[in-house]
Amino acid sequence: MRSSSRIILLDVGGTFVKASLGIHGKGAVEGTFTYTPISSDGTAEEIEEAFRIAVGDRMNAAADEGHEVSAVCVAIPGPFNYREGIFMMKHKFMSVYGKSFREILGDVIAPEVRLAFVHDVNGVLLGALASDPSLKDGNVAVSTFGTGLGFAYAVDGKVQESEAGSPAKNLWNLPYMDGILEDYVSRRAILRFYAELGGRLAEGEDVKDISIRAREGEACALEAFRKAGRHYAAGAKELIGFLGIRHLMFAGQIAKSFDLMENEIRAGLGESLSISVLDDIRGTVLTGAASL
């Protein structure tokens, strides 16, 4: 690989494709980030156009700086065929189900440009391992807490994957109470808890507004987060113990409010488990993608 080469890093969400130029094995290049709107429930044409714009724009930026692009490395949620780069989702991006990423990009990239894919939660963990070598000793895990509940773990620095390339173990669908754990630990769960406790949100308000109220001393807002923390610890404790996790990291949008449920999570999981929060999830997942 020539020293002047760059890679394109993508973090695919349901509303935006976050893109940057990157250096293989290092991470994103500061000042090269873009956000391309995308609707995961849009038509095939709309979704394909968004990806072509996101990648094409970074291809042009690299060319303007005199760099060649050697690879496009993509962090994307599942279900997805990470080995062959094929969309397998039916709950979102359904209109491009069965299509390959290379097919979607078409002539935006040359045939020799390598494509690599990673589950977004695995990507977060890869990025954390690359940023902190001390995490490569023993078993560590990351749990993403936002719209849904993600989980990935590594053994002596190697992220554990299923045959399809997804995380080897899941938390979100563990049987819990009268449903699954994600029913009690997610955005929708906190919104439900808040309403059940008597809280009221105005049109357009969301979990972020509940966190603001919690920090301002509103009892039902704080209790909504504390309930989610208690449920997380109760539902996740057995798997975390079974896997022998020594250090657990939290990331994601709601994890920014980790302090509001920290006591409940720490008490429930036990003091022997080391816990931390990944503040820069965007940078971490792109660093992970850059290691592909």
What's the topology of domain 133-278? Nucleotidyltransferase; domain 5 (3.30.420)
In this prediction, residue 113 has a pLDDT band, given cuts at 50, 70 and 90, of very high
Per the rule left: phi > 0, alpha: psi between -120 and 50, beta: everything else, 274 is beta
In this predicted structure, the answer to whether residue 281 has a pLDDT above a threshold of 90 is no
In this prediction, residue 85 has a pLDDT band, given cuts at 50, 70 and 90, of very high
- The H or E element that residue 16 is part of is strand 16-23
In angstroms, the CA 93 to CA 44 distance is: 8
pLDDT of residue 146: 86
Same fold, 6-112 and 133-278: yes
E strands present in 24-132: 27-28, 34-37, 69-76, 80-81, 86-87, 114-119
17: which strand partners? 12, 36
pLDDT of residue 149: 94
pLDDT of residue 4: 75
Q: What phi, psi does 157 have (nearest 5°)?
A: 85, -5
In angstroms, the CA 63 to CA 80 distance is: 30
In this predicted structure, the answer to whether residue 1 has a pLDDT above a threshold of 60 is no
- Residues 171, 235 contacting (CB under 8 angstroms): yes
Q: What phi, psi does 176 have (nearest 5°)?
A: -155, 125
Rounded to an integer, the average pLDDT of 185-207 is 96
pLDDT of residue 111: 95
Handedness of CA 252, 254, 260, 261 (dihedral sign): negative
Rounded to an integer, the average pLDDT of 110-126 is 96
Q: How many Cβ atoms from other residues are within 10 Å of residue 85's Cβ?
A: 20
In angstroms, the CA 124 to CA 150 distance is: 10
pLDDT greater at residue 196 or residue 163: 196
pLDDT of residue 189: 97
Q: Which two tokens stand for residue 172?
A: 């979100």
Query: What is the pTM for the complete model shown?
Result: 0.91
Percent of the chain with pLDDT over 90: 89
pLDDT of residue 125: 97
| pLDDT tens track for 209-268 | 999 999 999 999 999 999 999 999 999 999 999 999 999 999 988 888 999 999 999 999
What's the topology of domain 6-112? Nucleotidyltransferase; domain 5 (3.30.420)
- The H or E element that residue 140 is part of is strand 139-145
Domain boundaries, the chain: 6-112, 133-278
pLDDT of residue 271: 86
Residues 130-136: contacts with CB under 8 Å, at least 24 apart:
130/27, 130/287, 130/288, 130/290, 130/291, 131/284, 131/287, 135/247
In angstroms, the CA 197 to CA 194 distance is: 5
pLDDT of residue 2: 44
In this predicted structure, the answer to whether residue 46 has a pLDDT above a threshold of 90 is yes
- Residues 81, 115 contacting (CB under 8 angstroms): no
- Residues 224, 193 contacting (CB under 8 angstroms): yes
In this prediction, residue 183 has a pLDDT band, given cuts at 50, 70 and 90, of very high
pLDDT of residue 252: 86
Burial class (CB in 10 A: 0-12, 13-18, 19+), 91: exposed
Decide the pairing of beta strands 175-176 and 158-159: unpaired
Q: Which two tokens stand for residue 52?
A: 């072509």
State the chain's mean pLDDT as an integer.
Answer: 94
What is the secondary structure of 111-130 as a DSSP string?
A: TTSEEEEEEHHHHHHHHHHH
pLDDT of residue 278: 92
Handedness of CA 190, 193, 199, 202 (dihedral sign): positive
